[in-house]
Every structure is written in structure tokens, then in C-alpha cells.
Structure 1
Amino acid sequence: MNDYILFMHHDAAGTDAASDAGLWARYLARLRGTGLFDGGSAIGPGERLRKGTPGRPCDDDLSGFVRVHAESLSAAKELLLPGNPVYEAGGTVELRELPRS
């Protein structure tokens, strides 16, 4: 079983749907029911830091993340992407594997 993270972006045409608490509750309940859910959160403002340079605000691209387990990237897309409020509202969901190191 592999670990994946889904990053939700702030670019959905239907911003109300993408941030609807009821839709998120149903989606997260479905993920919990699969046994593949491993946490997640909204993402607030932050700072980009680089040694020797002043910090600067982070871009406001990301709105949250969800961490999941799946057999493959294809399985993660098929099982875990449907119902995601950002995805369903036409927004970008970035799906990345978390390699074991």
C-alpha cells in the first residue's frame, strides 16, 4: 500500500461548493469508510523561507490537503478523487505519491 497526498487548490469556479462544509463532511466520511484515509486539514497563510534571504508570504494557491493510502496512483484517482468538493467544483486537485525513504 502506498501513501498519497491530495493538495486542493484555490481555483475552483464554484468556490461555494468547493468550501461547502456539508460536502466536505460527506466526502471525508466516505474516505474514512474506505479505511484509506490518513488525515488532512485546511491550509492557512504561511511564509516561504530561504537561508540568507528575508521571508516572504506563501502563494495563496493551496487550500488544504488530504493524506490517503492506495495500491497505486490509478487506484487513488479512481477511489479517492470522486466526491472531492474542490474537484467536483472544477478546481485543481494535485495527487502526489509520498515515497518511502
Structure 2
Amino acid sequence: MTRLLLDEMLQLRAAEILREEHGHRAAHVCEFGLDATADADIATFARANDWAVVTENVVDFARESDLVLVFVLKRSLPAGGAQAGALAELLDRWVREHPNPYLGAHWPR
């Protein structure tokens, strides 16, 4: 199963929901002390530890081709308190539909 590492602009609560309610291996960068860390360093960490990076930061991560990148735009999710749950549902569905994702960019719907 794909391990999901959520970038800092996404809610920690989404990683918690993915673990607690959906049984996924998911974490937020802050849980590894990687908040406010350069994107290249997050990519290096993810690559070395076999994590897929879930991020809104398309520009900085788009050139990373040797890891799984899951791009999610927050504006496509409900605002406020419902956002974490909606993100968790979206990612849960994506992981189930893509049990062995290819390296590179993914855009779950």
C-alpha cells in the first residue's frame, strides 16, 4: 500500500483520518519535524523512505520525476473544517484505485 506524506500546506488532521479511519500509512511532514523544510529536502526524505508526497505545490515538485507525487489543490476541496475529511476521502479512493502507482505526477479526482 502506498505511504502518503502530506506536505505542510495540507492539514495534519487529514493524515490522522487516513490512518485512523481508513487504515492507511499516512503522515504529515510536521510529524517528522519537516515543517518549514525546503521542498527538495522533503523530496529527498520521501525518496529515501518510500513515501508518496501529497502536495499543492506543483511548481516546486513538478521537476521531481523519481518519486510518486500526488497533486491536490485545496481550492477543489471544501473550505474550513470539512477540508481534512474531504482530502482523506479523496486520497483513500486514489490509493485504492492505484495500489501500485507509477513514479511521477498524479492528479486524483
TM exceeding 0.5: no
Judging by fraction of residues, say which structure has more strand. 1
What TM-score results when the alignment is normalised by the length of structure 2? 0.27
Q: Point out the structure with max Rg over C-alpha.
A: 1
Judging by fraction of residues, say which structure has more helix. 2
